[in-house]
Amino acid sequence: MARWEPGDEVDEGLSALRVHDASPERVERIRARGVALLAARRKAGEAPAGRGAPWRTWLEPALALGLGALYLAAAVTRALAVYR
């Protein structure tokens, strides 16, 4: 039965297999797409008022709560005025 030992023809053959590469056009296309995606991600991350800006995480709920409270106060005031 064949045995796998260092220096075997099989070992030598596997490690000596030539390196292949994709076509130059495809190599460049992948590189360009990768770089463009990274640049877009970086740009989105640097936007001052972007979707991921940290202040939005607390300002939006605070505004919603404040407006809700004002609306409720106005409704209660109107109801009390009618009652009187």
Note the residues at the interface with another protein (CB under 8 A). 1-4, 8-23, 26-27, 29-31, 33-35, 37-39, 41-42, 45
CB of 52 to another protein, least distance (A): 11
Q: How far apart are CA 75 and CA 78, in angstroms?
A: 5
* 77 phi/psi in degrees, rounded to 5: -60, -45
Amino acid at 24: P
CB of 25 to another protein, least distance (A): 9
CB of 70 to another protein, least distance (A): 39
